[in-house]
């Protein structure tokens, strides 16, 4: 039963008193194998026990998930906190943008209502006295509105282009106070000559 190519250590002897059931089991193995000495039987039993323990240890190690290091855990917590802060800031930004949009809509509505009131009070009466029809008056008003809208869109496009092409950026001015007026040059909107001719 001795395994080949294994060195026997003659200088080390393990001495122990076996349990009764261990002694009976070893005696049964000796009778069944015809072995006359306990030493080879005990060596084989130790080999089997060591092999079983090695298998058990390897299965336990492979089944256990690797534990993350403390640095990795701290890094993940920091990233999570940063993402939560960014989400909160983004939600605040969306709420501010929504409020700005509502204020802008209210401002535009008030501006349009004021312009309509001035038009009705000043221009419509003069145009009616000159015999211009209601349809033509409405067309003149819509034409002026469209022209004002075109001027506003063109100006906004020009501001955007100048900001994108400027080395100073949108929040930097010559005076350093963050005023865009300091770095942008605006053209005067064209004067609507046909309204002056009608009124």
Residues 98 and 41 in one domain: no
Does position 172 have pLDDT exceeding 60, yes or no?
no
Is residue 14, in this structure, part of any structural domain at all?
A: no
Range of the domain at 31: 20-60
Confirm if 156 and 164 have CB atoms less than 8 A apart.
Answer: no
Domain count, the chain: 2
For 11-26, the pLDDT digits (tens) are 877 787 888 888 888 8
Is residue 165, in this structure, part of any structural domain at all?
A: yes
Residues 50 and 96 in one domain: no
Is residue 130, in this structure, part of any structural domain at all?
A: yes
199 falls in which pLDDT band (50, 70, 90)? very low
Is residue 81, in this structure, part of any structural domain at all?
A: no
Mean pLDDT in residue range 31-59:
88
Residues 96 and 194 in one domain: yes
Residues 38 and 101 in one domain: no
CA 45 to centroid of chain Cα atoms = 60
Residues 189 and 116 in one domain: yes
Does position 80 have pLDDT exceeding 50, yes or no?
yes
Q: List the structure tokens of 31.
A: 């009778």
Residues 98 and 193 in one domain: yes
Is residue 86, in this structure, part of any structural domain at all?
A: no
CB proximity list for 170: less than 8 A, separation 6 or greater: 163, 180
Residues 194 and 97 in one domain: yes
């Amino acid at each position: 039963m001795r395994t080949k190519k294994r060195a026997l250590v003659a200088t080390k002897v393990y001495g122990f008193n076996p349990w009764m059931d261990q002694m009976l089991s070893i005696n049964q193995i000796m009778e069944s194998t015809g072995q006359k000495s306990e030493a080879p039987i005990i060596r084989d039993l130790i080999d089997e026990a060591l092999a079983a323990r090695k298998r058990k240890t390897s299965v336990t190690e492979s089944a256990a998930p690797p534990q993350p290091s403390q640095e990795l855990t701290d890094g993940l917590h920091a990233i999570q906190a940063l993402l939560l802060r960014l989400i909160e800031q983004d939600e605040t930004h969306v709420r501010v943008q929504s409020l700005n949009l509502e204020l802008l809509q209210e401002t535009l509505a008030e501006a349009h209502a004021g312009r309509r009131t001035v038009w009705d009070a000043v221009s419509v009466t003069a145009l009616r006295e000159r015999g211009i029809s209601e349809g033509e008056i409405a067309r003149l008003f819509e034409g002026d509105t469209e022209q004002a809208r075109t001027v506003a869109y063109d100006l906004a496009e020009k501001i955007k282009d100048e900001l994108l092409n400027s080395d100073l950026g949108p929040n930097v001015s010559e005076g350093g106070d963050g005023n865009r007026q300091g770095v942008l040059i605006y053209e005067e909107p064209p004067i609507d000559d046909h309204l002056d001719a009608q009124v």
